[in-house]
Structure 1
Amino acid sequence: MGKKLAVLEIINTLTGNSHQSLKAKVFNDSVHGHIEFHPLLVMIIDTPQFQRLRFIKQLGGGYFVFPGAAHNRFEHSLGVCYLAGKLVRSLQRNQPELEITDKDILCVQIAGLCHDLGHGPFSHLFDLFFIPKVRPDFKHKHEHLSVLMFDHLIEENHLEAKLKENGLDGEDLLFIREQIEGLPKDSSQKQNDDVWLYKGRGREKSFLYEIVANKRNGIDVDKWDYFARDCLNLGIASSFDHKRYMKFARVIEVDGDKQICSRDKEIGNLYDMFHTRNNLHRRAYQHKVNKIIETMMVEALIKADPHLRIFPGANGRKLTMSESLDDMHAYTHLTDSVLEHILFSQEKDLKESKDIIQKIFTRKLYKCVGQTQPTADTELEKPLEISKAICLAVSEEELKGPQLDSDDLVVHVVKMDYGMGNQNPVDYVRFYSKENSNTAIKIGKGEVSQMLPENFLERYIRVYCKNRDAENVAKAERCFAEWCDKKKFSKPKPGNFLDTAMTLVKKRPRDGTCGPSEGPKKSKKILGNTYKGM
């Protein structure tokens, strides 16, 4: 028996597997198939702080528009961890001169696993729209909350000893935090060619910071997973192949930093990646119905916040959602379930919030008035100022009645880009040729194709009306059209403008029976009565 174990150990050493692999856990993932995790990663996964991600939907309010978008931050985090390990191992195997250690690999995987720990209810809805309204003093993004939650997870579950057992020290923990958040927000300097500001790893391993969250050009495993996972669950095709990109990834020194570069022939695959990103934003993330549902959800959460003191803090005191940002013990209990808590509550103080949520469930959404596209060089005012200007665009005499109330309008300024504003992110990628694999080169857009975009940013202005009364909506449409004309913007498309992701209209049966389009109205009425009785 002893000889068999010795032979097995030799085989594991030759194949790159260690005794840890025998204790690894296998997950069956819907995107990546059977994926294997190091025992330390499994310990992190099996904590309340990480399991919380099961109850936070990846696409926020997108589930109310796309029924398949029920996936969550838990499975996404597993996917990012897996891809991070796969990419860094590929670099280790192909370029031993980089001296990538097993400890480096484990740190990169932990960063990938924990990069989204700080997300609040309904993901970006919480940190982009809720937090700025209720806590304008809180200037951090969800990445900072992820670092705070990571530290809380380690301390609360007494994992310090396990980290040491796996060879991780304070410098490694700093490296993990830096991968998640980047440089500290209060840093007096930005990373430049002369000074290396990261402390977890030296400049010779700068490429490791480009795997989980690439600040240079946005090409990282986080995007690779959510592109594949979101496309799968949304039913949207993706033309980007991250497996192929990995095959040709190579680290080359550029201006003193070691960067992850790609083969010159892969530039088309990279443009496909950014096109996939734009396509997802256009068809799903920025879908006009999705965005107004998220706006209504934010309104409901803001109104509920002062009265929803249900999250137990570290000292036992119950905190609100906004107060939980300063207490990770309370934040651990903050998930999408807050919506059901409001909906089923009998508290009178939560009635306004409850009414808004009932409107979402019964599809009594704010009415989309229309959409216009300003010119690229136009400086736009803030949405509130645009709302006021639209209301004043037509006088009371012309309307033959009172003007619109700006509080009745919702204005969204929607940005579509490749992730870097009006810049082409591929300009920040370096490539190599088959003949010279150690020299990084830049490839201009004109050298690739004449059919690539000239501009990488476009904006739309959408207007919604809270009062769904036909007369009020018609008034809003007229004011919006007049405002667009004065601004010399494109003529606004009506509220039912065609989205590229809109579902095809179901035809009425020829036998004269009630068609699919008539059924939901009755269902909405029944559903509405049900919620009113709660």
Structure 2
Amino acid sequence: MAPPEADLVELRDPLHGPIAVNARELAVIDAPHFQRLRRVKQLGFAEHAFPGAVHNRYLHSLGAMHLAGRLFDALARSAPWLGGPERPRLRQTVRLAALLHDIGHPPLSHAAETLLPERSELPARAVPVREGRASHEDMTLALVLASGLTRVIERTMTPLGVTPGAVAALIETDLDAGDAFTVEGMDLRPLLHGLVSGELDVDRMDYLLRDSLFAGVSYGHYDLDWLVSQARAVPDGAVVRLGIDLRALPAFEHFLLARYHMFQMVYFHPKSDIYDAMLRQWLVAVGDAARFPGDPEAFIACDDAWLRARLLASDDPWARRIAEDRPLALAAELRHPLDGPTEEALAALMAREPEAIRLTARPVLSRYAQKPGHLRADPLLVVDGAHRVRRIEEVTDLYDRYDRTLRLERIYVPREARAAARASLAGEA
């Protein structure tokens, strides 16, 4: 059970029901840096295909925090390192890391990451690597470690021993955590980081169910309660890693397939896919004119409305198509491999139609094993009834079966050119 709190409030969530939040967490939630996520949709342009998919990253982040607490409590029942005097600090740190994992996400679409500033423009104490374009993970670190939010965390969390640095270290493993997660000689960081970002993390556990709910589909459903109850803290030498009981293997496989099918049917839907592509075309055209600021405080203003205002003010043809809801039309969706005549017909069509866009949709089963033989160093472990511990890929053939992922080729053209494009691809012209 979670530790008792005298100052709990309940936030009503359509997915998880009442979410208990303590006063310390509420201070972080109420900070403008986190409130920005109210104004950033979780699925960007997906509402053009699924009208109900207008939920935001604010709600998803609350759900991730809630699940982090549930998973921590489930693990603590069989993990002595998560109990004792360190329990409140560790539990609060992992809940806060889950809450803030998306705080640096750009508005509207992942495509908008190209508008993020150079790393050299971010506070050096938050992003020590100074070369290259910042990612949304870099912006998250800047907000956690070098903004007004940092002071909120320091002011509210100090009594528990929770620091911004420890929170950031569960989001980004390249950061030095010192001995913040060492208990009784065991390093708990791999375990707790795995809850925030891993093969069975609270990010995906929340967004699959939440996105299914708001999109009005069932592809992302899986057995959440069983996976939580069967999660295990598994010693691996001097570190502790996240694992599951072997009895939960079918539920975990279902979880992986739910993500795969959500990518195939929702996240890579042809309608939202073309809006993302048109946004990328516009971003190439505007270059630095719409660049996000490197100052974390100024980034608070960069929400969906901020980006849409720039789209509406632009006379670029791609911006006009987005602003006026005039997307290119899907002329064809083809499954790889493509034969020679089809490739030739596609090349001829792309040369003939200057506005044509060719996209590849490739749903991936897992971030853990995206290439044959290339597995992550922080594996999900599986514990059987004899207490034998194995890596997940040793007990399921799902990764092998999905090594050759589905690859779809989509061709979009102006609506008035769709009939001719379809005829040419069918060999009728």
What is the TM-score when the length of structure 2 is the normalising length?
0.82
Cα displacement (A) at 1:123: 4.0
- Whichever residue aligns with residue 431 of structure 1, its letter is V
Cα displacement (A) at 1:83: 0.7
- Which of 412, 429, 453 lines up with 2:380 in the alignment? 429
Q: Deviations 1:118-161 (Å, cap 9, x if unpaired)? A: 0111142322x65599x9x7433211111112234445765533
Residues 304-315 of structure 1 aligned to structure 2 (within 5 Å): none
Cα displacement (A) at 1:51: 0.5
Give the match's secondary structure for 2:410: strand
- Which of 101, 118, 135 lines up with 1:141 in the alignment? 135
**d(CA) in 2 for partners of 1:102, 1:451:** 37
Q: Deviations 1:245-274 (Å, cap 9, x if unpaired)? A: 111111122355321211112111011001
**d(CA) in 2 for partners of 1:155, 1:343:** 29
Distance 1:408 1:123, change over 3 A: closer
**d(CA) in 2 for partners of 1:448, 1:158:** 44
Residues 488-527 of structure 1 aligned to structure 2 (within 5 Å): none
The question of whether the paired residues in 2 share the 8 Å contact of 1:28 and 1:34 is answered with yes
- Whichever residue aligns with residue 141 of structure 1, its letter is S
Report what 2:72 is aligned to.
88
1:288 equivalenced with 2:274 (yes/no): no
Cα displacement (A) at 1:220: 0.5
The question of whether the paired residues in 1 share the 8 Å contact of 2:370 and 2:403 is answered with no
1:413 equivalenced with 2:360 (yes/no): yes
Cα displacement (A) at 1:404: 2.7
Give the match's secondary structure for 1:101: helix
Report what 1:322 is aligned to.
291
1:222 equivalenced with 2:190 (yes/no): no
- Whichever residue aligns with residue 187 of structure 2, its letter is E
Give the match's secondary structure for 2:363: strand
**d(CA) in 1 for partners of 2:264, 2:382:** 29
Cα displacement (A) at 1:351: 5.7
**d(CA) in 2 for partners of 1:130, 1:286:** 22
Report what 1:365 is aligned to.
327
The question of whether the paired residues in 2 share the 8 Å contact of 1:342 and 1:350 is answered with no
- Whichever residue aligns with residue 221 of structure 1, its letter is V
Report what 2:389 is aligned to.
440
Report what 1:151 is aligned to.
145
What is the TM-score when the length of structure 1 is the normalising length?
0.67
Report what 2:320 is aligned to.
355
**d(CA) in 2 for partners of 1:405, 1:35:** 55
**d(CA) in 2 for partners of 1:351, 1:441:** 55
**d(CA) in 2 for partners of 1:132, 1:333:** 15
Residues 116-195 of structure 1 aligned to structure 2 (within 5 Å): 116-127=102-113, 138-154=132-148, 158-168=152-162, 172-183=163-174
The question of whether the paired residues in 2 share the 8 Å contact of 1:69 and 1:230 is answered with yes
Cα displacement (A) at 1:458: 2.4
Cα displacement (A) at 1:56: 0.3
- Whichever residue aligns with residue 216 of structure 2, its letter is G
Distance 1:72 1:337, change over 3 A: same
The question of whether the paired residues in 1 share the 8 Å contact of 2:117 and 2:134 is answered with no
Per chain length, whose mean CA-contact separation is higher, i.e. which structure has more relative contact order (CA < 8 Å, sep 6+)?
Answer: 2
**d(CA) in 1 for partners of 2:35, 2:370:** 34
Report what 2:128 is aligned to.
none
Distance 1:243 1:278, change over 3 A: same
Cα displacement (A) at 1:448: 6.1
Cα displacement (A) at 1:341: 1.9
1:459 equivalenced with 2:424 (yes/no): no
Report what 1:334 is aligned to.
302
**d(CA) in 1 for partners of 2:99, 2:61:** 5
- Whichever residue aligns with residue 389 of structure 2, its letter is A
- Which of 40, 45, 65 lines up with 1:56 in the alignment? 40
Q: Deviations 1:5-51 (Å, cap 9, x if unpaired)? A: xxxxxxxxxx7644xx1112210111110111121110000011111
Distance 1:451 1:429, change over 3 A: closer
Cα displacement (A) at 1:209: 1.5
Distance 1:207 1:354, change over 3 A: closer
Note the aligned Cα RMSD (angstroms).
3.5
The question of whether the paired residues in 1 share the 8 Å contact of 2:361 and 2:407 is answered with yes
| Bigger radius of gyration | 1
Cα displacement (A) at 1:475: 4.9
- Whichever residue aligns with residue 296 of structure 2, its letter is M
Give the match's secondary structure for 2:187: helix
The question of whether the paired residues in 2 share the 8 Å contact of 1:131 and 1:138 is answered with no
Q: Deviations 1:193-234 (Å, cap 9, x if unpaired)? A: xxxx753434521311211111xxx21111000011001111
Q: Between the two proteins, what is the percent identity of the paired residues?
A: 22
Q: Deviations 1:360-402 (Å, cap 9, x if unpaired)? A: 2xxx3212221223349x9xxxxxxxxx9767548xxxxxxxx
Report what 2:97 is aligned to.
111
Distance 1:101 1:421, change over 3 A: same
Q: Deviations 1:415-455 (Å, cap 9, x if unpaired)? A: 12212324598994322223x34x3134667x768999354
Report what 1:188 is aligned to.
none
The question of whether the paired residues in 1 share the 8 Å contact of 2:40 and 2:303 is answered with yes
**d(CA) in 1 for partners of 2:272, 2:398:** 34
Q: Deviations 1:152-188 (Å, cap 9, x if unpaired)? A: 44457655332323323xxx4322112222325xxxx
The question of whether the paired residues in 1 share the 8 Å contact of 2:356 and 2:411 is answered with yes
Give the match's secondary structure for 2:77: helix
**d(CA) in 2 for partners of 1:343, 1:132:** 19
Distance 1:255 1:93, change over 3 A: closer
Give the match's secondary structure for 1:457: coil
Residues 35-50 of structure 1 aligned to structure 2 (within 5 Å): 35-50=19-34
Q: Deviations 1:282-308 (Å, cap 9, x if unpaired)? A: 11100111100122233345545655x
**Unaligned 5+ runs, structure 2:** 122-130
The question of whether the paired residues in 1 share the 8 Å contact of 2:332 and 2:422 is answered with no
1:209 equivalenced with 2:203 (yes/no): no
The question of whether the paired residues in 1 share the 8 Å contact of 2:148 and 2:297 is answered with no
Report what 1:23 is aligned to.
7
**d(CA) in 1 for partners of 2:24, 2:353:** 54
**d(CA) in 2 for partners of 1:299, 1:451:** 34
Q: Aligned pair count?
A: 402
Distance 1:225 1:456, change over 3 A: farther
Distance 1:167 1:306, change over 3 A: closer
**d(CA) in 1 for partners of 2:82, 2:30:** 33
Give the match's secondary structure for 2:407: strand
- Whichever residue aligns with residue 365 of structure 2, its letter is Y
